[in-house]
Structure formats: C-alpha cells, structure tokens
Amino acid sequence: MKVENIETRIDPECRKEFDDIREKVKEDKAENGISNKRVSDRAITKMIVKHDLWHRIKDDLVGFFYNKKAQVQTKSLFEFMIVAFLIIIIIGIFLYTHDVIVTNLLSPSLESAGQVNFTQAVLDTMGQINTAALAQANIIGIMILFSMSISLIFVAYLTRDENPSIFFVIDLIVIIFAYILAVYLANSYEIVIGSIPFSTIFTSNLSFSTAFLLLLPRMVVILGAIIMIVSYAAIPRRREEEIAGF
C-alpha cells in the first residue's frame, strides 16, 4: 500500500509554502555554519503548529471530511428504507389495479359484442399478464430488495479505504437514527396493509417483501453492521482495482 507523506495531503499552495520554509531553514543553517542537508518531512511537521499555515491546514482537513471521497457509507440506509417502502407499496397498488381491470373486463355484461368474444380476448392478453404478475410478484419484490441491499455493500467495498477512522463513530450514530426511522416505517407499513381493502395482495402475493418490511429495523441494523465491517476491515486493494481507478 502506498504511504502518503504530509505534502501529498495538502493543496499545492500549501506545499509551495512548505518548500519556502525549507529554503529559509537552509539559508539560516548556512549563515550559522550548520550542514545544509535537506530538511525532513518530520521537521516540517513539527514546524506546522508554529506556522501561520495552521488555519489553512484545518481548512484542508475540513475539505477532506466533506469532499466526494470521504462520506458516511451508512447514510445510504435512509434512502434504502424509503425507496424499499415506496417500491413495495407501488407494486401492490399496481397488482391490485391490474387485477380489478381484468376482472371487470371479464364481466358477463361484456362477454361478447357481435362475433367478438371479449372474455376470450381478455384471457389471452391481459389475463395472461395478470396471472404471471400475481404469481411472480413475490419473487420480483424480494429480488428488488435483495439487489438494493447488495448494492449498498458493494459500494461500501469499493470505497472501503477512503474514509478516516473517525467516521466509525459517525456510522454508529447514523445506524441508531436509521433504526428509529425503520421502526416508524415498519409500523406505517403494517397500518397501511391493514387499512386498505386489498391487503391480501401484500400478505399473499408479496409475502416475502411484507415480511422484510415488517422486520425492517432488524434488517437495517444487520445491513448497517455489514457495511461498517466492509468499510473498516482494512481489506487491501487489489492491483486490478488500483488500475481501474476504483
């Protein structure tokens, strides 16, 4: 792993002033008859706290914490919970609406018009779609939630060495707040599926997704823990990743 010295962690303007400090130290040594060898980075580091660049270094540190590379990985849990909640609700509403439309089209009053058999036409077209959607909705819903979970872990893996260790504490705090929000969302989901007239769609055709959302607080804690492990486990980057720029 490449080790960066202090000069590579600051902006070019600060680096230039560090070089000026070196030159001044060399001149002072030359005037006092001291060996004029190169000043080490350690010596420059000791001089930082006594130099007026300190406030600029603090700005660089703040920028490091808030730039695009350094970010709290677990903050994505909030987006994950809200999107998961909305997706399952939308899928349930779509299934119910489509089923009602197909059922109404199969009404005896619309059985035929002249020589056109509406019932058979509906069964051969929208009826097939409705049957497939109701049968596969359970798998589709849980696969969407599973894919979203895997994507969070994958992103944490790709950015695993870009965050400072202090973010570990911040991640813990974020998970606590995410857990609180997950409790509210799980309770809201339970109220929604208990109050709407088509709750059987969620309990029968979306049973896996419903179980996931009702257990959302537990799932969020588990997912957050996995993200933190991947982010702070100091997994070394492979050469292929460094070449690809991940």
Residues 171 and 72: beta-carbon distance below 8 Å: yes
Least confident of 87-96, 225-234, 235-244: 235-244
- Residue 96's pLDDT is what? 87
The pLDDT of residue 225 is above 50: yes
Q: What are the φ and ψ backbone dihedral angles of 40, each rounded to 5 degrees?
A: -75, 160
- Residue 131's pLDDT is what? 74
d(CA 101, CA 241): 51
Least confident of 1-10, 52-61, 99-108, 223-232: 1-10
In sequence order, what are the residues at sequence separation of 6 or more whose Cβ sits closer than 8 angstroms to the Cβ of residue 175?
74, 77, 220, 221, 224, 225, 228
* Most confident stretch, 106-110, 170-174, 183-187, 231-235: 183-187
The pLDDT of residue 54 is above 60: no
Residues 160 and 230: beta-carbon distance below 8 Å: yes
pLDDT digits (tens, 9 = 90+) for 136-177: 888 999 999 999 999 988 888 877 766 666 777 888 888 999
For the chain, give the mean pLDDT: 74
Question: Strand locations in the chain, DSSP E?
Answer: 112-113, 116-117
pLDDT category, 220, cuts 50, 70, 90? very high
Query: What residues pair up with 113 in beta bridges, in sequence order?
Result: 116
- Residue 186's pLDDT is what? 93
- Residue 216's pLDDT is what? 93
Return the SS3 of 233: coil
- Residue 171's pLDDT is what? 85
The pLDDT of residue 90 is above 80: yes
The pLDDT of residue 3 is above 60: no
* Most confident stretch, 192-196, 197-201, 218-222: 218-222
The two most distant CA atoms of the chain are separated, in Å, by: 114
Residues 134 and 200: beta-carbon distance below 8 Å: no
- Residue 99's pLDDT is what? 80
pTM: 0.61
Return the SS3 of 116: strand
Return the SS3 of 113: strand
Average of per-residue pLDDT across 20-36: 66
d(CA 160, CA 150): 15
Residues 217 and 116: beta-carbon distance below 8 Å: no
The pLDDT of residue 233 is above 70: yes
d(CA 216, CA 179): 8
